[in-house]
Amino acid sequence: MRGARVLSVMATALGVGLAFAALYTAQAAVSGFLVGDPLDDGFGLLRRYALIWETRALLGGGIFLGWPLLGFERRTAPGRVVVVASGALAYAAVQSAMVVGIRAAWPELAPETVVHATNGLAHAYLVRVTDTAAPNVIAFLVVSLFSSLVHTEREMRFHRAREAELAADLANAELRTLRAQLQPHFLFNTLHTVTALMSENVDRARQVMASLGDLLRTSLDGTTDGFVSLDRELAFTDAYLDIQRARYESRLQTVRDVSESARHAMVPAMILQPLFENAIRHGIESTPGPGRIDLRCHVVEGRLRLEVTNTGRGMTQAGHGVGLANLRSRLSLLYGALAELEANPSPSGFEVSVSLPFSTSPPFASGADAAAGASS
Protein backbone atom coordinates (compact mmCIF):
# COMPACT_ATOMS: atom_id res chain seq x y z
CA MET A 1 0.00 0.00 0.00
CA ARG A 2 2.79 2.43 0.92
CA GLY A 3 4.74 1.62 -2.27
CA ALA A 4 1.68 2.30 -4.41
CA ARG A 5 1.15 5.61 -2.60
CA VAL A 6 4.77 6.66 -3.24
CA LEU A 7 4.44 5.82 -6.94
CA SER A 8 1.15 7.69 -7.14
CA VAL A 9 2.56 10.82 -5.48
CA MET A 10 5.72 10.86 -7.60
CA ALA A 11 3.79 10.23 -10.82
CA THR A 12 1.46 13.10 -9.97
CA ALA A 13 4.41 15.37 -9.18
CA LEU A 14 6.13 14.55 -12.48
CA GLY A 15 2.89 15.19 -14.33
CA VAL A 16 2.59 18.61 -12.69
CA GLY A 17 6.23 19.36 -13.56
CA LEU A 18 5.67 18.43 -17.19
CA ALA A 19 2.58 20.61 -17.31
CA PHE A 20 4.58 23.62 -16.07
CA ALA A 21 7.31 22.90 -18.63
CA ALA A 22 4.73 22.84 -21.42
CA LEU A 23 3.15 26.04 -20.10
CA TYR A 24 6.47 27.90 -20.05
CA THR A 25 7.33 26.63 -23.53
CA ALA A 26 3.96 27.76 -24.89
CA GLN A 27 4.42 31.15 -23.25
CA ALA A 28 7.84 31.55 -24.87
CA ALA A 29 6.43 30.51 -28.25
CA VAL A 30 3.55 32.97 -28.09
CA SER A 31 5.80 35.81 -26.92
CA GLY A 32 8.31 35.10 -29.71
CA PHE A 33 5.53 35.05 -32.29
CA LEU A 34 4.12 38.37 -31.09
CA VAL A 35 7.49 40.17 -31.25
CA GLY A 36 8.41 38.62 -34.59
CA ASP A 37 11.06 36.28 -33.20
CA PRO A 38 9.65 32.76 -33.55
CA LEU A 39 11.34 29.87 -31.79
CA ASP A 40 13.97 28.00 -33.74
CA ASP A 41 13.86 24.89 -31.56
CA GLY A 42 10.64 24.59 -29.61
CA PHE A 43 11.28 20.98 -28.67
CA GLY A 44 14.72 21.87 -27.37
CA LEU A 45 13.20 24.61 -25.22
CA LEU A 46 10.63 22.15 -23.91
CA ARG A 47 13.45 19.77 -22.90
CA ARG A 48 15.20 22.63 -21.13
CA TYR A 49 12.11 23.59 -19.13
CA ALA A 50 11.26 19.95 -18.49
CA LEU A 51 14.67 19.43 -16.89
CA ILE A 52 14.12 22.41 -14.61
CA TRP A 53 10.55 21.62 -13.59
CA GLU A 54 10.86 17.87 -13.34
CA THR A 55 13.73 18.20 -10.87
CA ARG A 56 11.60 20.60 -8.86
CA ALA A 57 8.72 18.14 -9.07
CA LEU A 58 10.85 15.21 -7.87
CA LEU A 59 12.04 17.20 -4.88
CA GLY A 60 8.51 18.43 -4.22
CA GLY A 61 7.15 14.88 -4.23
CA GLY A 62 9.85 13.82 -1.80
CA ILE A 63 9.04 16.74 0.50
CA PHE A 64 5.34 15.87 0.43
CA LEU A 65 6.00 12.21 1.31
CA GLY A 66 8.45 13.07 4.06
CA TRP A 67 6.52 16.01 5.52
CA PRO A 68 5.13 14.10 8.54
CA LEU A 69 8.71 13.26 9.59
CA LEU A 70 9.44 16.96 10.09
CA GLY A 71 6.74 17.28 12.76
CA PHE A 72 6.03 20.77 11.41
CA GLU A 73 2.55 21.13 12.95
CA ARG A 74 3.85 20.17 16.41
CA ARG A 75 6.73 22.67 16.43
CA THR A 76 6.72 26.11 18.00
CA ALA A 77 6.70 29.22 15.80
CA PRO A 78 10.52 29.68 15.93
CA GLY A 79 10.94 25.99 15.14
CA ARG A 80 8.71 26.32 12.09
CA VAL A 81 10.73 29.29 10.85
CA VAL A 82 13.91 27.25 11.16
CA VAL A 83 12.37 24.34 9.26
CA VAL A 84 11.09 26.55 6.43
CA ALA A 85 14.30 28.59 6.13
CA SER A 86 16.66 25.62 6.16
CA GLY A 87 14.35 23.62 3.90
CA ALA A 88 14.15 26.45 1.34
CA LEU A 89 17.95 26.80 1.22
CA ALA A 90 18.43 23.05 0.92
CA TYR A 91 15.78 22.82 -1.80
CA ALA A 92 17.39 25.57 -3.87
CA ALA A 93 20.87 24.08 -3.44
CA VAL A 94 19.87 20.52 -4.33
CA GLN A 95 17.68 21.50 -7.29
CA SER A 96 20.47 23.59 -8.81
CA ALA A 97 22.95 20.76 -8.27
CA MET A 98 20.60 18.31 -10.00
CA VAL A 99 20.16 20.57 -13.04
CA VAL A 100 23.88 21.31 -13.42
CA GLY A 101 24.84 17.68 -12.88
CA ILE A 102 22.33 16.34 -15.41
CA ARG A 103 23.38 18.94 -17.97
CA ALA A 104 27.00 18.01 -17.51
CA ALA A 105 26.26 14.29 -17.89
CA TRP A 106 23.78 14.65 -20.78
CA PRO A 107 24.41 17.92 -22.63
CA GLU A 108 21.68 17.10 -25.16
CA LEU A 109 19.10 17.76 -22.43
CA ALA A 110 20.26 21.37 -22.21
CA PRO A 111 20.50 23.11 -25.60
CA GLU A 112 21.53 26.35 -23.87
CA THR A 113 24.03 24.80 -21.52
CA VAL A 114 25.71 27.00 -18.94
CA VAL A 115 28.51 24.51 -18.35
CA HIS A 116 31.71 25.87 -19.85
CA ALA A 117 34.95 23.96 -19.91
CA THR A 118 36.91 27.05 -18.97
CA ASN A 119 34.85 27.81 -15.85
CA GLY A 120 33.97 24.28 -14.72
CA LEU A 121 31.05 22.85 -12.82
CA ALA A 122 31.62 24.91 -9.68
CA HIS A 123 31.13 28.16 -11.57
CA ALA A 124 28.12 26.78 -13.43
CA TYR A 125 26.59 25.72 -10.14
CA LEU A 126 27.12 29.14 -8.53
CA VAL A 127 25.53 30.84 -11.53
CA ARG A 128 22.61 28.45 -11.46
CA VAL A 129 21.91 28.62 -7.74
CA THR A 130 22.09 32.43 -7.79
CA ASP A 131 19.85 32.87 -10.83
CA THR A 132 17.14 30.49 -9.61
CA ALA A 133 17.18 31.15 -5.85
CA ALA A 134 13.94 33.15 -5.83
CA PRO A 135 11.79 30.77 -7.93
CA ASN A 136 13.16 27.77 -6.05
CA VAL A 137 12.34 29.31 -2.68
CA ILE A 138 8.83 30.13 -3.92
CA ALA A 139 8.42 26.57 -5.22
CA PHE A 140 9.51 25.19 -1.84
CA LEU A 141 7.05 27.44 0.02
CA VAL A 142 4.19 26.34 -2.24
CA VAL A 143 5.05 22.65 -1.77
CA SER A 144 5.42 23.14 1.99
CA LEU A 145 2.06 24.90 2.30
CA PHE A 146 0.33 22.24 0.23
CA SER A 147 1.98 19.43 2.22
CA SER A 148 1.03 21.02 5.53
CA LEU A 149 -2.60 21.48 4.50
CA VAL A 150 -3.00 17.95 3.12
CA HIS A 151 -1.30 16.18 6.02
CA THR A 152 -3.11 18.30 8.60
CA GLU A 153 -6.46 17.51 7.01
CA ARG A 154 -5.55 13.81 6.83
CA GLU A 155 -4.54 13.79 10.48
CA MET A 156 -7.79 15.51 11.42
CA ARG A 157 -9.75 12.88 9.49
CA PHE A 158 -7.85 10.15 11.28
CA HIS A 159 -8.61 11.68 14.67
CA ARG A 160 -12.28 12.13 13.75
CA ALA A 161 -12.46 8.50 12.67
CA ARG A 162 -10.74 7.45 15.90
CA GLU A 163 -13.20 9.51 17.92
CA ALA A 164 -16.08 7.90 16.02
CA GLU A 165 -14.61 4.47 16.76
CA LEU A 166 -14.27 5.26 20.45
CA ALA A 167 -17.78 6.72 20.53
CA ALA A 168 -19.20 3.58 18.91
CA ASP A 169 -17.28 1.39 21.35
CA LEU A 170 -18.52 3.43 24.28
CA ALA A 171 -22.09 3.34 22.98
CA ASN A 172 -21.88 -0.44 22.67
CA ALA A 173 -20.43 -0.62 26.18
CA GLU A 174 -23.38 1.38 27.46
CA LEU A 175 -25.70 -0.96 25.56
CA ARG A 176 -24.10 -3.93 27.29
CA THR A 177 -24.47 -2.10 30.60
CA LEU A 178 -28.14 -1.54 29.83
CA ARG A 179 -28.56 -5.26 29.23
CA ALA A 180 -26.79 -6.03 32.50
CA GLN A 181 -29.13 -3.63 34.31
CA LEU A 182 -32.20 -5.01 32.56
CA GLN A 183 -31.67 -8.71 33.05
CA PRO A 184 -31.36 -9.20 36.86
CA HIS A 185 -34.32 -7.21 38.17
CA PHE A 186 -36.45 -7.82 35.09
CA LEU A 187 -35.75 -11.54 35.24
CA PHE A 188 -36.63 -11.62 38.93
CA ASN A 189 -39.94 -9.82 38.39
CA THR A 190 -40.81 -12.03 35.43
CA LEU A 191 -40.12 -15.24 37.30
CA HIS A 192 -42.24 -13.95 40.17
CA THR A 193 -45.07 -13.31 37.68
CA VAL A 194 -44.70 -16.77 36.16
CA THR A 195 -44.81 -18.35 39.63
CA ALA A 196 -48.08 -16.56 40.36
CA LEU A 197 -49.56 -17.58 36.99
CA MET A 198 -48.71 -21.25 37.36
CA SER A 199 -51.52 -21.72 39.89
CA GLU A 200 -54.03 -19.70 37.86
CA ASN A 201 -53.27 -19.94 34.14
CA VAL A 202 -50.65 -22.42 33.03
CA ASP A 203 -50.99 -21.57 29.34
CA ARG A 204 -50.41 -17.90 30.06
CA ALA A 205 -47.39 -18.78 32.21
CA ARG A 206 -45.96 -20.73 29.28
CA GLN A 207 -46.54 -17.76 26.96
CA VAL A 208 -44.69 -15.48 29.36
CA MET A 209 -41.77 -17.90 29.59
CA ALA A 210 -41.65 -18.10 25.78
CA SER A 211 -41.59 -14.30 25.54
CA LEU A 212 -38.88 -14.19 28.18
CA GLY A 213 -36.83 -16.69 26.21
CA ASP A 214 -37.20 -14.63 23.01
CA LEU A 215 -36.27 -11.45 24.84
CA LEU A 216 -33.18 -12.88 26.52
CA ARG A 217 -32.08 -14.73 23.39
CA THR A 218 -32.18 -11.54 21.36
CA SER A 219 -30.40 -9.47 23.98
CA LEU A 220 -27.69 -12.06 24.65
CA ASP A 221 -26.81 -13.33 21.18
CA GLY A 222 -25.05 -10.09 20.22
CA THR A 223 -27.09 -9.53 17.07
CA THR A 224 -28.54 -6.34 18.50
CA ASP A 225 -25.16 -4.64 18.83
CA GLY A 226 -25.07 -1.33 17.00
CA PHE A 227 -28.09 -0.68 14.79
CA VAL A 228 -31.20 -2.66 13.86
CA SER A 229 -34.28 -1.90 11.81
CA LEU A 230 -37.15 -0.31 13.69
CA ASP A 231 -39.31 -3.27 12.67
CA ARG A 232 -36.93 -5.61 14.49
CA GLU A 233 -36.75 -3.26 17.46
CA LEU A 234 -40.55 -3.35 17.64
CA ALA A 235 -40.47 -7.17 17.74
CA PHE A 236 -38.01 -7.01 20.63
CA THR A 237 -40.26 -4.52 22.41
CA ASP A 238 -43.31 -6.76 21.84
CA ALA A 239 -41.66 -9.54 23.85
CA TYR A 240 -40.89 -7.06 26.64
CA LEU A 241 -44.45 -5.70 26.70
CA ASP A 242 -45.99 -9.17 26.60
CA ILE A 243 -44.21 -9.99 29.85
CA GLN A 244 -45.24 -6.68 31.40
CA ARG A 245 -48.88 -7.26 30.45
CA ALA A 246 -48.79 -10.55 32.30
CA ARG A 247 -47.55 -8.68 35.35
CA TYR A 248 -49.91 -5.69 35.25
CA GLU A 249 -52.82 -7.42 33.42
CA SER A 250 -55.63 -4.99 32.61
CA ARG A 251 -53.75 -2.07 34.16
CA LEU A 252 -51.46 -1.92 31.11
CA GLN A 253 -52.88 -1.03 27.72
CA THR A 254 -50.72 -0.17 24.70
CA VAL A 255 -51.59 1.54 21.42
CA ARG A 256 -49.20 1.63 18.47
CA ASP A 257 -49.14 3.97 15.47
CA VAL A 258 -46.19 3.15 13.19
CA SER A 259 -45.92 4.31 9.59
CA GLU A 260 -44.67 1.86 6.98
CA SER A 261 -41.72 4.06 6.03
CA ALA A 262 -40.63 4.27 9.66
CA ARG A 263 -40.41 0.49 9.95
CA HIS A 264 -37.42 0.41 7.60
CA ALA A 265 -35.39 2.98 9.54
CA MET A 266 -32.16 1.88 11.21
CA VAL A 267 -32.11 2.76 14.91
CA PRO A 268 -29.80 2.06 17.86
CA ALA A 269 -30.58 -1.34 19.36
CA MET A 270 -32.82 -1.31 22.45
CA ILE A 271 -33.83 2.31 21.92
CA LEU A 272 -37.52 1.71 22.72
CA GLN A 273 -37.18 -0.51 25.80
CA PRO A 274 -35.93 2.33 28.09
CA LEU A 275 -38.84 4.49 26.92
CA PHE A 276 -41.41 1.84 27.79
CA GLU A 277 -39.66 0.98 31.03
CA ASN A 278 -39.76 4.66 31.98
CA ALA A 279 -43.47 4.87 31.13
CA ILE A 280 -44.32 1.73 33.12
CA ARG A 281 -42.21 2.48 36.17
CA HIS A 282 -43.16 6.15 36.54
CA GLY A 283 -46.65 5.99 35.08
CA ILE A 284 -48.44 2.66 35.21
CA GLU A 285 -46.73 1.28 38.32
CA SER A 286 -47.11 4.45 40.38
CA THR A 287 -50.82 4.91 39.62
CA PRO A 288 -53.70 2.64 40.70
CA GLY A 289 -56.17 1.61 38.06
CA PRO A 290 -55.72 1.08 34.33
CA GLY A 291 -53.11 3.01 32.37
CA ARG A 292 -52.22 3.43 28.76
CA ILE A 293 -49.00 3.81 26.76
CA ASP A 294 -49.08 5.17 23.20
CA LEU A 295 -46.21 4.64 20.74
CA ARG A 296 -46.00 6.75 17.59
CA CYS A 297 -43.25 6.28 14.99
CA HIS A 298 -43.27 8.51 11.91
CA VAL A 299 -40.88 10.03 9.38
CA VAL A 300 -41.22 13.80 9.24
CA GLU A 301 -39.06 15.98 6.98
CA GLY A 302 -36.26 13.46 6.74
CA ARG A 303 -36.21 12.66 10.46
CA LEU A 304 -37.51 9.68 12.38
CA ARG A 305 -39.63 10.68 15.34
CA LEU A 306 -40.39 8.21 18.15
CA GLU A 307 -42.93 9.27 20.76
CA VAL A 308 -43.99 7.33 23.87
CA THR A 309 -46.83 8.86 25.88
CA ASN A 310 -48.14 7.37 29.13
CA THR A 311 -50.95 8.15 31.52
CA GLY A 312 -50.71 8.10 35.29
CA ARG A 313 -49.09 9.93 38.17
CA GLY A 314 -45.46 10.21 39.21
CA MET A 315 -44.52 12.24 36.15
CA THR A 316 -42.23 14.73 37.88
CA GLN A 317 -39.49 12.10 38.08
CA ALA A 318 -40.04 10.54 34.68
CA GLY A 319 -37.64 12.63 32.68
CA HIS A 320 -34.67 12.03 34.95
CA GLY A 321 -34.44 8.26 35.34
CA VAL A 322 -31.30 6.21 34.82
CA GLY A 323 -32.71 4.56 31.70
CA LEU A 324 -33.40 7.86 29.94
CA ALA A 325 -30.07 9.28 31.06
CA ASN A 326 -28.25 6.29 29.54
CA LEU A 327 -30.27 6.57 26.36
CA ARG A 328 -29.55 10.29 26.07
CA SER A 329 -25.83 9.56 26.48
CA ARG A 330 -25.91 6.83 23.81
CA LEU A 331 -27.69 9.09 21.33
CA SER A 332 -25.18 11.87 21.96
CA LEU A 333 -22.28 9.51 21.30
CA LEU A 334 -23.82 8.06 18.15
CA TYR A 335 -25.36 11.17 16.57
CA GLY A 336 -23.94 14.20 18.36
CA ALA A 337 -26.20 17.22 18.00
CA LEU A 338 -28.25 15.48 15.27
CA ALA A 339 -30.26 13.51 17.85
CA GLU A 340 -32.80 14.97 20.26
CA LEU A 341 -34.48 13.46 23.33
CA GLU A 342 -37.18 15.44 25.09
CA ALA A 343 -39.23 14.48 28.16
CA ASN A 344 -42.19 16.72 29.01
CA PRO A 345 -45.62 16.55 30.63
CA SER A 346 -48.48 15.89 28.22
CA PRO A 347 -52.22 16.57 28.62
CA SER A 348 -52.82 12.95 29.65
CA GLY A 349 -49.59 12.27 31.55
CA PHE A 350 -46.04 12.35 30.26
CA GLU A 351 -44.36 12.13 26.86
CA VAL A 352 -40.83 11.20 25.84
CA SER A 353 -39.86 11.88 22.22
CA VAL A 354 -36.73 10.95 20.29
CA SER A 355 -35.81 12.56 16.97
CA LEU A 356 -33.11 11.03 14.75
CA PRO A 357 -31.93 11.47 11.16
CA PHE A 358 -33.88 8.99 9.04
CA SER A 359 -31.74 6.37 7.33
CA THR A 360 -32.32 2.83 6.07
CA SER A 361 -28.65 1.96 6.70
CA PRO A 362 -26.37 2.51 9.72
CA PRO A 363 -25.52 6.24 9.92
CA PHE A 364 -21.75 5.59 9.82
CA ALA A 365 -19.28 2.84 9.09
CA SER A 366 -17.70 0.89 11.88
CA GLY A 367 -14.88 2.64 13.67
CA ALA A 368 -12.22 0.27 12.30
CA ASP A 369 -13.36 0.88 8.72
CA ALA A 370 -13.49 4.63 9.22
CA ALA A 371 -10.03 4.71 10.75
CA ALA A 372 -8.62 2.60 7.93
CA GLY A 373 -10.15 4.93 5.37
CA ALA A 374 -8.72 7.99 7.06
CA SER A 375 -5.18 6.61 7.23
CA SER A 376 -5.03 5.43 3.62
CB 23 within 8 A of CB 31: no
Maximum distance among all Cα pairs of the chain, rounded to whole angstroms? 117
Q: Residue 51 CB: number of other CB atoms within 10 A?
A: 19
258 in helix, strand or coil?
Answer: strand
Domains of the chain: 2-131 (no CATH), 167-363 (3.30.565.10)
Query: What's the confidence (pLDDT) of residue 224?
Result: 45
Nearest Cα to Cα of residue 191 among 205, 177, 201: 205
Query: What's the confidence (pLDDT) of residue 357?
Result: 93
CB 321 within 8 A of CB 350: no
d(CA 100, CA 93): 11
Count how many Cα atoms sit within 13 Å of the Cα of residue 107 in the half-sphere of its side chain: 7
* Orientation of helix 133-198 relative to helix 120-131, angle to 10°: 60
Nearest Cα to Cα of residue 18 among 50, 59, 62: 50
* Helix (H), strand (E) at residue 371: helix 367-375
Q: What is the mean pLDDT of each run of 10 residues along the chain (376 residues)?
A: 82 90 87 75 81 92 87 81 90 91 77 52 86 91 90 82 69 57 59 71 78 70 69 88 82 92 91 87 81 94 94 54 77 86 86 93 51 40
Determine whether 352 is exposed, middle or buried from the number of CB atoms within 10 Å of its CB (0-12, 13-18, 19+): buried
**Got the DSSP string for 3-36?**
HHHHHHHHHHHHHHHHHHHHHHHHHHHHHHHHTT
Sheet of 349-357, strand order: 252-258, 291-300, 303-311, 349-357, 340-346
C-alpha pair distances (Å), 281 with each of 36, 50, 162: 94, 78, 38
Query: What's the confidence (pLDDT) of residue 259?
Result: 95
Nearest Cα to Cα of residue 248 among 291, 207, 206: 291
Entry pTM: 0.49
Nearest Cα to Cα of residue 87 among 114, 62, 123: 62
* Orientation of helix 133-198 relative to helix 322-335, angle to 10°: 150
* Helix (H), strand (E) at residue 355: strand 349-357
Query: What's the confidence (pLDDT) of residue 318?
Result: 42
Query: What's the confidence (pLDDT) of residue 237?
Result: 87
Say which residues have a Cβ less than 8 Å from residue 344's Cβ, sequence separation at least 6: 319, 350, 351
CB 303 within 8 A of CB 347: no
